[in-house]
A and B are shown apart, each in its own frame.
Chain A
């Protein structure tokens, strides 16, 4: 059973889509396990000015992606790196035990996108 918040995010996901020429992009998970998350970042002066996601997965996977993007939008890179899966679960009023891994995936997707952003910046320097 999902919380109302999970269902609300599943039905009207925030920040769903792509960013053209993103400053960072991260994809985690695999189709074999049934979830893949991709996060796109647009960063200006170390602040995440825009973030979008694409997710293949269950209701919880979609809701955690949506919530995670909402939690990091407008934050600095360092603040975004501090986002934990626990914070995502709490913001969604909880997840069934079997779905906790979705929130871990959301955290990992954001870290992967930030990693990509940092690598790109290093290459540019």
Chain B
């Protein structure tokens, strides 16, 4: 099997499992209890908080553990908006956010908030001029993803942070795809809130973080006990928290070196696919993208059948095609970067890990070539295109 879907989820590393196991079976005390067993649990939990804070350039008390990146996003948007309703009712985001952001924003529209969805260019980036122009007196929140989950484009986060800080607007970033791959410093980049998720960097699922800068006015999302300094009720997922902290540390060890290798392999993959498969398109920026992300469209074929065919060779990948998620619309991200529907339907995302080898990439490219050819031979669009002498019907 060749696993090239590391943006969807990642396997838990052995060292991470080893770190977690004692918290299931031995150090299982509820961190809120009084006795020694619980004090040990609590101490280790707070230590993990400190370690996570350090990796983000944050303070310990600014780290809140949640159950997922999605929860962090929902909390940040809904409860920041509700807490600052008197100040204003305007939120700025982009058209290519993850659905955890987009659907949370839509919910706030139902509550009377106004949301601006910024356009992106063909490479998936917003224009800072557009951002500045969209800011109003009523703007209370800017939420823009650190890096896109489908096409890997990286947003100009420090610049956005600077603009937001100067205008006194809270800036949240969904950094689920960026954390563990890029060096992030929330203070230097003027980030007020940041969401991350454990299972994207070889940590466990069911654990996420919301960083909230001190002084940000936000309501709590989960009501109940006094955990997470009264902001997020619910008994702490201590094994998950320990696993997340360990996985985060491992992923940031020699990060630059690992990224260099990953970028080399990614660029090799991109170059070969574009050179060897006719009518293939790279989505997103050629170089300014996540080190492990490649996203292509292959004209005249549809993404789901491409995935099924690759799966026959043991290659696990994703498609931007929402066909896989039961909806018939192609990816909102690919439409937002300006691709027509028929091309957006034929997308393929390959996301590498630090362990991906050149042999795996070579095997994938060979299989991809034959699968694309087979599906094109089956496609009436390809038939028409060839009959037309390689010209599009206009």
Identify the A interface with B (CB < 8 A).
2, 7, 10-11, 13, 16, 18, 27, 31-38, 54-59, 61-62, 96, 98, 101
10 other contacts beyond A18-B383, A34-B345, with CB at 8 A cut-off? A11-B312, A33-B341, A34-B302, A36-B379, A38-B383, A54-B383, A56-B378, A57-B305, A58-B302, A98-B327
Residues of B within 8 A of A7 (CB): 308
A32 touches B342 (CB 8 A): yes
**Do most interface residues of chain A lie in helix, strand or loop, or is the interface mixed?**
mixed
Partner of B378, one of A16, A58, A96: A16
Chain B CB within 10 A, most for which of A13, A37, A58: A58
Residues of B within 8 A of A35 (CB): 302
Is B326 interfacial (CB 8 A cutoff)? yes
Is B300 interfacial (CB 8 A cutoff)? yes
A36-B380, A62-B378 are contacts. A57–B302 as well, Cβ < 8 Å?
A: yes
Is B394 interfacial (CB 8 A cutoff)? no
A10-B305, A10-B308, A62-B305 are contacts. A56–B323 as well, Cβ < 8 Å?
A: no
Shortest distance in angstroms between A94's beta carbon and chain B's nearest beta carbon? 15
A56 touches B381 (CB 8 A): yes
Residues of B within 8 A of A13 (CB): 378
B341 touches A31 (CB 8 A): yes
Q: How far is the CA of A57 from the CA of B340 in the complex (A)?
A: 16
B383 touches A58 (CB 8 A): no
Q: How far is the CA of A37 from the CA of B383 in the complex (A)?
A: 12
Query: Can you list 12 A-B contacts with CB-CB less than 8 angstroms, sorted by A residue number?
Result: A31-B341, A31-B342, A31-B345, A33-B341, A34-B302, A36-B380, A54-B380, A56-B378, A57-B302, A57-B305, A58-B302, A101-B328
Is B321 interfacial (CB 8 A cutoff)? yes
A34 touches B323 (CB 8 A): yes
Residues of B within 8 A of A61 (CB): 302, 305
A58 touches B312 (CB 8 A): no
Partner of A38, one of B302, B308, B342, B380: B380
Is B330 interfacial (CB 8 A cutoff)? yes
A54 touches B378 (CB 8 A): yes
Contact with A along B358-394 (1 / 0, CB 8 A): 0000000000000000000111111100000000000
CB nearest to A33 among chain B residues:
B328
CB nearest to A65 among chain B residues:
B378
Residues of B within 8 A of A27 (CB): 380
Q: How far is the CA of A16 from the CA of B381 in the complex (A)?
A: 14
CB nearest to B381 among chain A residues:
A56
Q: How far is the CA of A37 from the CA of B382 in the complex (A)?
A: 12
Contact with A along B305-339 (1 / 0, CB 8 A): 10011001000000001010011101000000000
Shortest distance in angstroms between A58's beta carbon and chain B's nearest beta carbon? 4
Q: How far is the CA of A32 from the CA of B301 in the complex (A)?
A: 12
